Amino acid sequence: MFQILATDIHGNRCDYLGPSLSATRRGIFVRPNFVEFHANASLVGGVIDAQRTHQFSMTFLLDTKTDAARAYANPILAGTYYLDVICRMNQTGRSDTITDGLYGSPFQVEVVPSCVLAAKSYATGRGLRQGTAGTESKFTIVSVDALGNRHSLGYDALSVIAKYHSRTHLRQSQGDIVITGNIQDGGNSSYCGSVRPTVAGHYVLTVAIHGVDIQGSPFSLDVGPSYTEAGASSADWGLGLKRAIVNTAASFTVTARDRYGNPSVNGAALISCELISNVNGTCTSLGNGSALCLYTPALSGSGSLIVKYGDAHISGSPFQVLIGESAAAGNYSKSQGQGLFVAVAGEIRSLSICTHDVAHNSIDDTDAYHWKFNAVLTHQAFQAHQAASAVTTNAQNGIYTLEYLATLSGVYDLTITDSVLEIHPFLVSD
């Protein structure tokens, strides 16, 4: 708003603004002498908006007390305007009306934005929706007033917060991850916001001005894992990492991970395993960043298990695996010793068993399981009550020594078994 005072060339105020009215007996008529004003403003500096007008006109009202013309306008766009004020006047009452610009016109007028309105302010950019662990997710924040005019703010007025939100019950422990974002001035009342999560997952991203959410906030931000690194990938669990049995598939699970420990779904396809100088394994992706690895050793002893992502070892590789023999196979095991054929009543007799699995591996004494041999002597004439059991007394280098004591003379059937091995009966004379 502003007001205009009409003056003559000497600065004397004029009191005949607008059409003057006079009353007579015949009615009301308009005096031909008058002064009137018109004003239009055009935007010359500011944010161009094709959907809104860049001009505005002004309304003049006459103040009869002061003979001043007061101008009113309601501009929408903030910026710098050139204001043209035109004066039309007729002081003679004849038809010689004069139109001219007001002294000093056009005027330069600065229209400033009103207060910032968070509900109208907005943000744009891919970083509002998608991100990568360890990489800044960037976006642009634009602060505006109620009419959409950009308005500068102090850094303390803006806040950017990302909070981890678990979509399943598998990672509830991550629920307290809260990341405060960074804000930089981007110029022209825009600001560069960013967050840098290192844990992959789903985040709720809040952007606020003076604690009030901007348009669209909170945003849903999905953060994916970074690129897979062999040194960060891990063999998580499985007995096959430490122990295996000949001719029996051993298994373990490996997870491809990025440098921050996030599982990499696509990385599992490049996991491989190999038992050095023994057998190659197979690794099958489970679809969640992990792979199930299987290998079947052929030789007993100590082996080195190599696990790789691509051409590089994962963390902890190679693993040392103790490979045990498989179950004893009767067709490959032998018994020997005088106690197999002849014994003296009341005297202890011994025999030895040399056991092998189907791969011809000797079953040594490293596993207490193999001490559970059972040798039973059954008297052929008195089967119901004349039976004697042998006891394993020694085991060394895959050879087991058994002893028994028979007190009744006669012919016995000697049967040697463990949980899976059965050797056909021997005939023992006492």
Give 231 or 430, the one with higher predicted confidence. 231
pLDDT score recorded for residue 376: 78
Give 303 or 14, the one with higher predicted confidence. 303
Is the pLDDT score of 403 beyond 60? yes
Residue pair 297/275 in contact (Cβ under 8 Å)? The answer is yes
pLDDT score recorded for residue 47: 52
Confidence of residue 115 (pLDDT cuts 50, 70, 90): confident
Buried b (16+ CB within 10 A) or exposed e, 273-300: bbbeebeebebebeeebbbbbebbbeeb
CA–CA distance, 144 with 78 (Å, rounded to integer): 11
The number of beta carbons lying within 10 Å of the beta carbon of residue 309 is 26
Distances (CA, A) of 265 to 149, 232, 268, 271, 341: 45, 14, 6, 11, 65
Residue pair 151/143 in contact (Cβ under 8 Å)? The answer is yes
Is the pLDDT score of 420 beyond 50? no
pLDDT score recorded for residue 31: 42
173: left (phi over 0), alpha (psi -120 to 50) or beta: alpha
For residue 48, the cross-strand partners are none
Residue pair 159/208 in contact (Cβ under 8 Å)? The answer is yes
pLDDT score recorded for residue 384: 52
pLDDT score recorded for residue 39: 63
CA–CA distance, 355 with 337 (Å, rounded to integer): 14
Please state which of the ranges 70-84, 208-222, 274-288 shows the lowest mean pLDDT: 70-84
pLDDT score recorded for residue 373: 65
Confidence of residue 135 (pLDDT cuts 50, 70, 90): very high
Confidence of residue 165 (pLDDT cuts 50, 70, 90): confident
Please state which of the ranges 9-13, 17-21, 84-88, 247-251 shows the lowest mean pLDDT: 17-21
Is the pLDDT score of 193 beyond 60? yes
pLDDT score recorded for residue 424: 46
pLDDT score recorded for residue 96: 65
Is the pLDDT score of 126 beyond 70? yes
Is the pLDDT score of 375 beyond 70? yes
pLDDT score recorded for residue 1: 58
410: left (phi over 0), alpha (psi -120 to 50) or beta: left
pLDDT score recorded for residue 260: 92
Is the pLDDT score of 21 beyond 50? no
The number of beta carbons lying within 10 Å of the beta carbon of residue 319 is 18
Is the pLDDT score of 387 beyond 60? no
pLDDT score recorded for residue 94: 59
CA–CA distance, 210 with 207 (Å, rounded to integer): 10
Confidence of residue 22 (pLDDT cuts 50, 70, 90): very low
CA–CA distance, 333 with 393 (Å, rounded to integer): 18
Is the pLDDT score of 328 beyond 90? no
Give 85 or 238, the one with higher predicted confidence. 238
CA–CA distance, 216 with 299 (Å, rounded to integer): 64
In 64-168, the DSSP E strands lie at 68-72, 79-90, 98-101, 107-111, 122-124, 130-132, 137-142, 158-164
Q: What angle do CA 384, 387, 388 make, to 5 degrees?
A: 165
Is the pLDDT score of 20 beyond 90? no
In 258-410, the DSSP E strands lie at 271-275, 279-280, 282-285, 290-295, 301-309, 312-313, 319-324, 334-336, 348-354, 374-379, 387-396, 399-405
Tell me how long the chain is. 430
Pair of tokens at residue 363: 């079953």
- As a whole number, the mean pLDDT across the chain is 76
Confidence of residue 116 (pLDDT cuts 50, 70, 90): confident
For residue 32, the cross-strand partners are none
Is the pLDDT score of 235 beyond 80? yes
CA–CA distance, 131 with 134 (Å, rounded to integer): 9
DSSP state of 25: T
Please state which of the ranges 241-255, 272-286, 363-377, 400-414 shows the lowest mean pLDDT: 363-377
DSSP state of 359: T
Long-range CB contact pairs, 12-16, < 8 A, 24+: 13/67, 14/67, 15/67, 16/91
| Residue located via tokens 């122990």 | 243
